[in-house]
Structures are given as C-alpha cells and as structure tokens.
Structure 1
Amino acid sequence: MTDEELLAGLAACRIAHHIPGRLRVKLGATSSQVMPGLAEAAALLVRLRAIQGVKAVTVNKLARSSTVEYDPAILAPEGWEDVMQGRQTGAAEELLARFGKTR
C-alpha cells in the first residue's frame, strides 16, 4: 500500500464515535470517496495494527465499521480526527509518521 493509497483510504472514512482511547470509524462513508477494496483495506489494517500505542483493531464487515482501541498517552486523540479530515496539524503529522508516512 502506497502512502497515497493510505491517505485515500483514511479520507474515505469518517469517525462515528470517539472517546480518548476508543475510536469507531465508518468505512467508505464519505460521499466523494469509494470504499477501498479488500486488499487495500487489509493492508491498511496491517499498518494500523503495527502502530505503537494501538491496542486492538476490530472490523464489522456487515456494519462497514471498525473499532480502534489505542493508548491516548501515546497517540493524541485529536490526531485521528485531523488525519481523516485532511487537516495538517502536529497531531496529524505524528500519527501519519507512526503509519510510516509524513507529509
């Protein structure tokens, strides 16, 4: 998965619910984006699970959603929202760097 595919996959999602330490994301939820294919989604999950501070990632295919449990002391909660909304902030840059990508 290229960095561009990673960003496109994240942009195609929206946060349904977020409390520090737990994030529920609707997959392929934005009207302007297409949900990534199974191979791309699997690659995204592999990268997500490898991030230090991510405790667990679950996917509900029927609901087209994913839950991410993370340590808010390691990963800034605002970083998730900033990345998915395309905002270039310090928290977003830090999260992207943990994915192995910086803008």
Structure 2
Amino acid sequence: MIPDLSPFLHLRRFVSIAHHVPGRIRLKLDLAALIHLPTVDPAPFVALVGRIQGVKTTRLNAAALTVVVEYDPQLIPAAVWPRLLVADVDEVERVLAAHVV
C-alpha cells in the first residue's frame, strides 16, 4: 500500500534534478522549501523509498539540500525520475505501485 503522498507532491515544485546518469540521480531542494518542511512528516516517504524495487541507496546531504539515489536502471528506467516531478497524483501512484514491494 502506498501512503498518502500529497504533502510530498506539493513540495515537488521545489525539487529539481541537479545531475542524472542512469543508475544515479541527485535531487536538489530549493531553499524556499524550508518553510514547508516542518509541516511534513517524512516517515511515510522514507518508508516508501525503502520499499521501492531497484533503489540501492539514498544519501541525504542536508547542508547542500540534496539527495542522491542510486538505483538499478534495469528495474527503474531513467525516464521515470523526471516524470515523478511533474506527473499528476494518479500517474505517480501508478508508477510507484509498479515498483513498490
């Protein structure tokens, strides 16, 4: 089951792809997002990321406001990542449902 992602989907407008090669993506959070973060419980999102097939590791750099995700590009196509930043809720849930165990 996928948790309610609406608090995180709202924050996508503050996220950009800083660097991406198949198998490794660095996501950058804009400083403007910091005002919204205290109102968002990260636990459901963290638990969900841990259940995505193909995600090998995630590393947070709080000082740089970045997250690096290493993943298996055979299981998660590189084109999925930019779609997750712009897709509507239904598409995001479909994509995640296909990859969550």
Is TM more than 0.5 here?
yes
The equivalent of 1:95 in structure 2 is: 95
> 1:55 and 1:49, CA in 2 relative to 1: closer, same or farther beyond 3 A?
same
The equivalent of 2:70 in structure 1 is: 69
Q: How does 1:1-103 map to 2 (within 5 A)?
A: 2-27=4-29, 29=30, 35-37=36-38, 40-86=41-87, 95-97=95-97, 98=99
Instruction: Tell me the number of residue pairs that the alignment of Structure 1 and Structure 2 aligns.
Output: 97
- TM-score, normalised relative to structure 1: 0.71
Structure with more helix by fraction:
2
Structure 1 residue runs without a partner (length 5+): none
SS in 1 for 2:26: strand
Give 1 or 2 for the bigger CA radius of gyration: 2
How far off its partner does 1:14 sit?
Answer: 1.0
Structure 2 residue runs without a partner (length 5+): none
Percentage of pairs with the same residue: 29
Bigger relative CO (Cα 8 Å, ≥ 6 apart): 2
Runs of 4+ in structure 1 deviating by more than 6 angstroms, as ranges, are: none
RMSD (Å), alpha carbons: 3.1
Contact in 1 for aligned 2:26/2:68 (Cα 8 Å): yes
1:17 maps to a residue whose letter is: H
> 1:33 and 1:64, CA in 2 relative to 1: closer, same or farther beyond 3 A?
closer
- TM-score, normalised relative to structure 2: 0.72
Contact in 2 for aligned 1:53/1:74 (Cα 8 Å): yes
- Deviations, residues 7-53 of structure 1 (Å, cap 9, x unaligned): 223443111000000000012x2868965338533432321122111
